[in-house]
Chains A and B, each alone.
Chain A
Amino acid sequence: MRMVTVTNLKKTYGNLTAVDDISFEIEKGEIFGFLGPNGAGKTSTINMITGLSRPTAGAITVDGIDVKKQAKRAQAIMGIVPDESNLYNEMDGFDNLCFCAALYGMRKEERESRARQLLDLFRLKDAGKRPFKAYSKGMRRKLTIAAALIHSPQILFLDEPTTGIDVESSRQIRELIVGLKRQGITIFLTTHYIEEAERICDRIAFIANGRMIASGTVPELMERISHGHTVRFVTSQNIQNLTAELQAHFEESKITIQSDHSFVIASEQRIPLLPAMDFLHDKEIDVYEARELRPSLEDVFVKLTGIKASTLKKDQERGGH
């Protein structure tokens, strides 16, 4: 079953085309991720789907509802976490959640029990009585996600849920997202982090310069660039002078010497290890390591988008700032 269908979506700001003819579908119950660098058009796309911004062209349906025509009906089943944590600074956590629940027409008892339940789930119980402005960045993010879940939406939009958040909070947030999926909630998230997309998304779309470059499951995306196989060997003795001999021995494959003690065999077919081991053993060379090299999702992203990996942030670079 389809949850979201986006067809030929376009958004321009003056001369700038922020979203350029993007089409995709999100199935019910899956986590779909937009992976792309700054300014790729991720937020613009989310804003159009959630009804905060009007598309220049294209069609959007959410659970069969045309967002352009019936935004309010569609919004009733959406939970939305914007790129900035935007709750009310003066109000405490509990009141913030109850207020958000009221916006969706929930009754008092229902609002309060759901708010308590979410504070518990997000481990913010003690923070419930503190004003939002006194929260740390990670806590603010978590409460903002909790607020988006207050009316038990069928689809959750998360715009960069972990950007600028400390490692531990990010891990908790990812765990929560996966938990929500298990409860059957459809999730659309955007991220700068390749690792994050790879770890939690069922399907990923690469977004760059307003265009959708590729989309699919991680194995599907990998297939887009990885043809054949490569195995790297680490040896006990210098193998530089064996280059010609190795290449002659493995005429079907391509041999690349990487250093004095390592070389790589590349082939269209799978590479059996024993012939290479035997060859080296005959030369009285030991093999310390033989490992199949797989391209990373990052390699795929770089190859397909032509964008340097450094424009996407690395997990290690996270900080609390």
Chain B
Amino acid sequence: MKSWIAFWNILKKDVKNYYLKPPNISWGIIFPLSWTLMQLIRSPGGSLLGLLPGLISMSVLFGTTSMLAVTMTFERSGRSFERLLLAPISLSTMVLAKIAGTILFGLFNGFVPVIFASFLIDLYVINWGVVLLAVLMIAITSSLMGLLIAVSAKQVFEAQTFSNFFRFPMLFLCGLFVPISSLPVFLRPVSYCLPITYGTDILRGAIVGTNVLSPVLCFGILLTFAVVLFLLCRYSINRKWIQPA
């Protein structure tokens, strides 16, 4: 019960102080929208439905990684973060509470292109349950990656640089712009090390039916990624942020 109170209030505070701030809300809308428009202009003949899986993954990825990396680094530089480390709550509760806000923000980001598309085309072919689950899994894994970046960054600016350093290559490696099968052979294993590759594949299956891997397998892999990343985050926070002996 006590952990739940702490969890809920950390989440509420972050949502109120960071995610519901006008600049973040508008950024969360404008960014996915501009991706969508850019893609439409680039390939006027292409079907919007075919672009949707990529647009959703990208929006979620960009909404989550930098968000957590930046807010955590910010709280650490102002030292208010010490309060969470000194509170009688487990590191797991703290990590879960911190990523929960970002995950919600990621979901919000992911559905901006969907809402936009719904004005232009019929979306009845989409398997919404699977899409929601896939978006959730992308949001969870990218939030955790953002947290890992926060553990390695010392300043807010460093956190931003790190997250961009990881995100942009990811976009090209996850099969969004270029199918993985046409990537140079030496890059393909890298693609299969990225959680977003599997998330995008599920989305493709659920939206246009052009998945490469089995969705069940992809969910399994994403879940494994989530658990491993979570344990890694908890371990690094414990090692690095509680000053080592």
Hey, which bits of chain A sit against chain B, CB under 8 A? Answer: 47, 50-56, 72-73, 75-76, 78, 80, 82, 84, 86-91, 99-100, 102-107
Say whether A106 contacts B242, CB under 8 Å: no
1/0 per position for B80-98, CB-CB distance to A under 8 A? 1011111111100000000
Task: Tell me the minimal C-beta distance from A87 to chain B in angstroms.
Answer: 6
1/0 per position for B144-172, CB-CB distance to A under 8 A? 00000000000000000000000000000
State whether the Cβ of B179 lies closer than 8 Å to any Cβ in chain A: no
State whether the Cβ of B120 lies closer than 8 Å to any Cβ in chain A: no
- Knowing A52-B85, A53-B243, A105-B1, the reply to whether A87 touches B17 (Cβ < 8 A) is no
Say whether B243 contacts A105, CB under 8 Å: no
- Knowing A47-B243, A53-B243, A54-B242, the reply to whether A100 touches B83 (Cβ < 8 A) is yes
Say whether B78 contacts A89, CB under 8 Å: yes
Additional 12 contacts, C-beta under 8 A, given A54-B245, A72-B90: A75-B87, A82-B79, A88-B13, A89-B78, A91-B13, A100-B83, A102-B10, A103-B84, A103-B88, A105-B3, A105-B88, A106-B5
A102 vs B5: C-alpha distance in the bound complex, in angstroms? Answer: 6
* CB neighbours of A82 from chain B (8 A): 79, 82
Please name the residue on chain A nearest to B3 by beta carbon: A105
Q: By CB atoms of chain A within 10 A, which of B8, B87, B242, B244 has the most?
A: B87
Please name the residue on chain B nearest to A87 by beta carbon: B80
Task: Tell me the minimal C-beta distance from B152 to chain A in angstroms.
Answer: 20
Say whether A51 contacts B5, CB under 8 Å: no
A73 vs B90: C-alpha distance in the bound complex, in angstroms? Answer: 10
* CB neighbours of A106 from chain B (8 A): 5
State whether the Cβ of B130 lies closer than 8 Å to any Cβ in chain A: no
A–B pairs, 12, beta carbons within 8 Å? A54-B245, A56-B245, A72-B88, A78-B86, A80-B86, A86-B79, A86-B83, A88-B13, A91-B17, A102-B6, A102-B8, A103-B83
1/0 per position for B113-150, CB-CB distance to A under 8 A? 00000000000000000000000000000000000000
State whether the Cβ of B2 lies closer than 8 Å to any Cβ in chain A: yes
* The one of B1, B9, B89, B242 that contacts A99, using a Cβ cutoff of 8 Å: B9
- Knowing A56-B245, A102-B5, the reply to whether A51 touches B86 (Cβ < 8 A) is yes
- Ranked nearest first, the 5 interchain pairs of A and B with the lowest CB-CB distance are A105-B2, A102-B9, A53-B243, A103-B87, A76-B88
Q: By CB atoms of chain B within 10 A, which of A88, A103, A104, A107 has the most?
A: A103
* CB neighbours of A72 from chain B (8 A): 88-90
Task: Tell me the minimal C-beta distance from A71 to chain B in angstroms.
Answer: 8
* CB neighbours of A53 from chain B (8 A): 242-243
Say whether B244 contacts A54, CB under 8 Å: yes
